[in-house]
Amino acid sequence: MQAARHLASVDGRSVDIAMTIQIALIRGINVGGHQAVAMSDLRDLLTQLGFDGSRSLLQSGNLIFRCSARIGAELESLLEMEAEKRLGLRADFLIRNAKEWGQVVARNPFRKEAERDPSHLVVMFLKSAADAKDVKAVLAAIAGRETIRADGRQLYIVYPDGIGKSHLTNALIEKKLGIRGTARNWNTVLKIAALAEE
């Protein structure tokens, strides 16, 4: 999905503005019966807010859409507010544009693991960049064979013995960092990247 053009009315004139591909990840929905929401309702929400081409992937809260006006934290706040108001959904939205998503893929420090066992490689997307001292606190809390690399607003995590039994949970990571986030395995990261390119 390449950046589209969109005609907007500015002072009575039609102005052609670039529409940027945005990816919204929603934290903690449709997991174990908690925060259940239909993806179709979330796509409808984006349409009602005036965003174009809304699509979703899986039930875990992955949305791709085009937006011209708002970016980053401003867009996150808008979506969080409107999702609560219109759908009764209280959840964190984490936004990355298509370029940022491409950088997440390109900067993966665990290429061998991504090829060998992509379901055990996870990217945890954070609301803000983590401090180095807090990342060290996460590293100190690792009890198993997990490996972590921090890169801006992302953590790349390898779970060689599986995610379900690991003590390195999202809740523990968030507590040590003092930042909220949501994780996606490498297969999902690549599927979202492909959708953003269509």
SS3 category, 193:
helix
pLDDT at 59: 78
∠ at Cα 197 (52, 170), nearest 5°? Answer: 85
What does the alpha-carbon distance between residue 198 and residue 196 come to, in Å, rounded to a whole number?
6
pLDDT at 29: 80
pLDDT at 30: 64
pLDDT at 3: 41
Going along the chain from its start, the domains and CATH numbers come out as: 4-100 (3.30.70.1280), 107-197 (3.30.70)
Give the Cβ contact number of residue 31 at 10 Å.
12
∠ at Cα 179 (116, 62), nearest 5°? Answer: 55
Q: By C-alpha distance, which of 170, 135, 162, 140 is closest to 150?
A: 135
Residue 42 phi, psi (nearest 5): -70, -40
Instruction: Answer for the pair 64, 21: CB distance below 8 angstroms, yes or no.
Output: yes
Instruction: Answer for the pair 117, 174: CB distance below 8 angstroms, yes or no.
Output: no
Instruction: Please enumerate in sequence order all residues whose Cβ is within 8 A of that of 117, keeping only pairs 6 or more positions apart, or say none.
Output: 160
pLDDT at 34: 67
Question: Could you report the per-residue pLDDT of 41-58, keeping only the tens digit for each?
Answer: 999 999 999 999 999 998
pLDDT at 82: 96
Q: Enumerate residue ranges in the chain where pLDDT < 50.
A: 1-17
